[in-house]
Amino acid sequence: MSGPVAASDKDAHVEMLPMTAHYTANIDKGLSIDGNATASLTRQSANRWQYRFDVDSFIADIRESARFRWSGQTVSPDTYRYSLEGWMISDRHRSLTFNWADDRVTGRYEGTPVDLSLPENALGPMTYQIQLKQDLKKGLQEMSYQVVAEGRMDDDRFAVRGEEVLDSRLGELNTIKVEKVRAPEKKRETYLWFAPEWDYMLVRLVQVAKDGTRYEVHLTEATVNGETVTARPTP
């Protein structure tokens, strides 16, 4: 697996590789809810890709997908779709279409119409994750994105917080820890761990909401460009 692009080469084109990853997903809000999640990144044509993230659990199922274009430096989202359906949970549906010719993003967010001006290099609810991974490959330590979220445009900031060796289901993996930077009064925390040796595969995610709900995702198995992800060699 090729290594990351040098940190000094901020304008370098980086390659995007197809991948499939399987995770355990856990939501702890008084009652623990366990499920399984699958993420996949597939090429649709020369420069068009699809990213999917599906969660299956006893309580609820989530289907989330985004189609986008990749220039070698930036992600340009085309569409975003989300549905949550479950037992004793209100169904939720979201859809966005990015019209770059008119610089508008339109759609619906859980029944509410969305119609926003589209800034240059704006991203969607999923595609910012792809851009983040590609920017980490280029050695960036701090990233800022304009992201369509809940019918508005947010400024999302991320910062690298160091390196960690995670004891995963696959064994020990070298990772880079990234934090979603928020103001202290927001009382929310999001941390992500990526494996540089495996095309910056997401290995772990921890998110704590302001009401104390804890959401965790842990990698169980994956392939990158057809190659099985494995732990680092034992010394």
The larger pLDDT score, comparing residue 29 to residue 213, is at 213
**Res. 2: pLDDT tops 50:** no
pLDDT tops 90 at residue 74 = yes
67 versus 188: the higher-pLDDT residue is: 67
- Range scoring the smallest mean pLDDT among 1-5, 38-42, 109-113: 1-5
| pTM listed for this prediction | 0.88
- Which range is least confidently modeled, 3-7, 89-93, 203-207, 229-233? 3-7
What is the rounded distance in angstroms from the CA atom of residue 31 to the CA atom of residue 200? 32
Q: Is the pLDDT of residue 186 over 90?
A: no
Q: Name which residue leads in pLDDT, 60 or 192.
A: 192
- Percent of the chain at pLDDT above 70? 88
In b/e form, how buried is each residue of 185-215, taking b as 16+ CB within 10 angstroms? eeeeebebbbbbbbbbbbbbbebbeeeeeeb
Percentages of the chain per state (helix, strand, coil), in multiples of 5: 5, 60, 30
Q: From CA 81, how far away is CA 219, in angstroms rounded? A: 23
The kind and range of the H/E element at 128 are: helix 127-137
Print burial letters for 98-114: b (CB count within 10 Å at least 16), e (below 16): beeeeeebebebeeeeb
Percentage, residues of the chain above pLDDT 90:
66
pLDDT at 91: 74
Mean of pLDDT values over 98-107: 96
Q: What are the tokens at 115? A: 């119609």
* Least trusted range by pLDDT, from 18-32, 37-51, 145-159: 18-32
Structure tokens given for 160: 């690298």
Distance CA 151, CA 149 (A): 6
